[in-house]
């Protein structure tokens, strides 16, 4: 199926001329991109439609809030296009374009120049991974790797799979939500996955469905194609105000994904990224949504963790009582932090760890960030 890209608000029939005029300055600051398939899923008569909210700018994005690199990804970038934060996992940023742009994206800094050149040279990162035998997992990300043509993906996946210590290649993608025909119309992609899995390198597709209405018939067919090719499929998404910030919405998403063999893996607390104020939900509200949603589904549908991708590690938000919030390092940049509990004073208005008053936790949380250089952690 031919999917047409929409890169100007003027091409959106669903907006009134007045709405376009008001939203133009927002799209100038944080680039707008949509496509005809996803636009067709939106109920344009409903100004609060969750899928509309996911892709159409809001004026409040211009509020002064957050920073462009809220998780300090730059700190963990040893060579251009490669991040190494946890010893066994490296990220290769392979491009700077997605099938559409989520308004709440935490990597929007990559899109701000509306890069015409979609592909990033993966070779410096490849060399880095070759030299680091502790790296067993490589996550291809961006942007969205599945925007790249299969010929380019064959080169990248082939190069990574040829590194003997890499056992798993993850592909982080929202293409099955934004344009599942990328998978359905290209049998060579499924063949590439089948070949790579058969050769002994497991491929995981880290999907990004935010709402159960994205699980359309073509999207579920695309999940099936990838699974039949041998890929493992999971889902991860943040809690986004107006998109999925209701327990029953998450419960439906968890339930449907478990039936499709694509279980929810992480639910993320939104990062305090510039432009994202209208999309953020406080930690305590997020915890309530997550726990309530879990209460409504079977064991197989509640396998996810609710986590915050903090500069120091992936912090699971475990629970709270009247006075305190309890958290634990699920992944930690410093080996010593792994598994450590963090107890903070309960603050129902806080969006991020740095806004909480820490009562107890590992010393690294109280130390200056300059101590978080790679050599301290990887030894
Ligand atoms: S698909 Fe991912 S990287 Fe792309 S805009 Fe959405 S959140 Fe950002």
Residue 359 burial (CB count, 10 A): 12
Is the pLDDT score of 379 beyond 60? Answer: no
Mean pLDDT of 185-211: 98
Q: What is the mean pLDDT of the chain?
A: 93
Is the pLDDT score of 375 beyond 70? Answer: no
pLDDT value at residue 376: 37
DSSP 80: T
Nearest CA to ligand 1 atom 3: 143
pLDDT value at residue 111: 82
pLDDT value at residue 119: 67
Q: Is the CB of 174 under 6 A from ligand 1?
A: yes
pLDDT value at residue 254: 98
**For the CA atoms of 136, 138, 139, 140, what is the dihedral angle to 10 degrees?**
-160
Q: Which range (25-29, 177-181, 284-288, 362-366) has the least confidence? A: 362-366
Give the residue among 193, 213, 216, 195 at the shortest CA–CA distance from 205.
193
Is the pLDDT score of 120 beyond 70? Answer: yes
Instruction: Give the residues across from 188 on adjacent strands.
Output: none
Nearest CA to ligand 1 atom 8: 105
Is the pLDDT score of 60 beyond 90? Answer: yes
Token digits of residue 72: 């300090």
The three-class DSSP label of residue 97 is: coil
pLDDT in tens, 4-47: 999 999 999 999 999 999 999 999 999 999 999 999 999 999 99
pLDDT in tens, 217-232: 999 999 999 999 999 9
Q: Is the CB of 144 under 6 A from ligand 1?
A: yes
Q: Is the CB of 98 under 6 A from ligand 1?
A: yes
pLDDT value at residue 71: 76
Residue 232 burial (CB count, 10 A): 17
- Rounded distance from Cα 224 to ligand 1 centre (Å): 22
pLDDT value at residue 146: 97
pLDDT band of residue 117 (cuts 50, 70, 90) is very low
State which H helix or E strand residue 158 sits in: helix 150-161
pLDDT value at residue 90: 97
- Rounded distance from Cα 174 to ligand 1 centre (Å): 7
- Rounded distance from Cα 172 to ligand 1 centre (Å): 9
C-alpha to C-alpha distance for 226 and 220, rounded to whole angstroms: 10
C-alpha to C-alpha distance for 25 and 226, rounded to whole angstroms: 39
Are the beta carbons of 120 and 364 closer than 8 angstroms?
no
Residue 78 burial (CB count, 10 A): 14
Could you give the domains of the chain? 5-62 (no CATH), 73-378 (3.20.20.70)
Nearest CA to ligand 1 atom 1: 174
Q: Is the CB of 96 under 6 A from ligand 1?
A: no
pLDDT band of residue 339 (cuts 50, 70, 90) is very high
Q: What is the DSSP string of 295-322?
A: HTS-GGG---EEEEEETTEEEEEEEE-S
C-alpha to C-alpha distance for 143 and 108, rounded to whole angstroms: 9
Q: Is the CB of 101 under 6 A from ligand 1?
A: yes
Mean pLDDT of 208-220: 98
Mean pLDDT of 257-264: 98
Convert 265-285 to b/e letters by CB count within 10 Å (16 or more is b).
bbbbbbbbbbbbbbbbbbbbb
Please identify, by atom number, the ligand 1 atom nearest to the C-alpha of residue 174: 1
Q: Is the CB of 107 under 6 A from ligand 1?
A: yes
Convert 205-218 to b/e letters by CB count within 10 Å (16 or more is b).
bbbbbbbbbbbbeb
C-alpha to C-alpha distance for 39 and 41, rounded to whole angstroms: 5
């Amino acid at each position: 199926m031919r999917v047409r890209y929409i890169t100007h608000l003027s091409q959106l029939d669903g907006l009134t001329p007045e709405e376009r005029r008001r939203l133009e300055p927002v799209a100038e600051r944080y680039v707008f991109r949509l496509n005809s398939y996803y636009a067709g899923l939106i109920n344009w008569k409903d100004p609060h439609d969750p899928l509309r909210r996911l892709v159409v700018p809001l004026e409040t994005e211009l509020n002064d809030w957050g920073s462009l690199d809220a998780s300090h990804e730059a700190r963990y970038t040893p060579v251009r296009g490669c991040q190494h934060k946890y010893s066994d996992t490296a990220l290769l940023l392979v491009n700077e374009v997605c099938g559409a742009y989520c308004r709440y994206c935490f990597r929007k800094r990559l899109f701000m120049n509306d890069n015409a050149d979609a592909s990033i040279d993966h070779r410096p990162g490849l060399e880095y991974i070759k030299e680091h035998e502790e790296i067993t997992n490589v996550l291809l990300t961006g942007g969205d790797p599945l925007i790249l043509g299969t010929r380019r993906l064959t080169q990248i996946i082939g190069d990574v799979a040829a590194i003997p210590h890499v056992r798993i290649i993850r592909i982080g993608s929202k293409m099955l939500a934004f344009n599942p025909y990328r998978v359905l119309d290209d049998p060579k992609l499924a063949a590439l996955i089948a070949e790579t899995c058969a050769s002994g390198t497991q491929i995981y597709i880290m999907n990004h469905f935010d709402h159960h209405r994205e699980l359309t018939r073509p999207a579920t067919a695309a999940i099936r194609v990838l699974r039949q090719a041998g890929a493992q499929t999971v889902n991860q998404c943040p809690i986004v105000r107006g998109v999925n910030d209701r327990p029953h919405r998450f419960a439906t998403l968890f339930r449907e994904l478990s039936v499709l063999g694509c279980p929810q893996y992480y639910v993320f607390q939104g990062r305090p990224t510039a432009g994202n104020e209208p999309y953020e939900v406080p930690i305590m509200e997020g915890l309530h949504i997550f726990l309530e949603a879990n209460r409504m589904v079977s064991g197989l549908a509640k396998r996810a963790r609710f986590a915050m991708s903090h500069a120091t590690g992936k912090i699971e938000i475990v629970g709270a009582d009247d006075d305190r919030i309890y958290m634990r390092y699920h992944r930690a940049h410093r080996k010593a932090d792994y598994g450590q509990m963090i107890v903070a004073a309960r603050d129902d208005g806080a969006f991020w760890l740095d806004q909480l008053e820490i009562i107890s936790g590992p010393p690294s949380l109280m130390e200056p960030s300059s101590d978080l250089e790679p050599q301290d952690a990887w030894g």
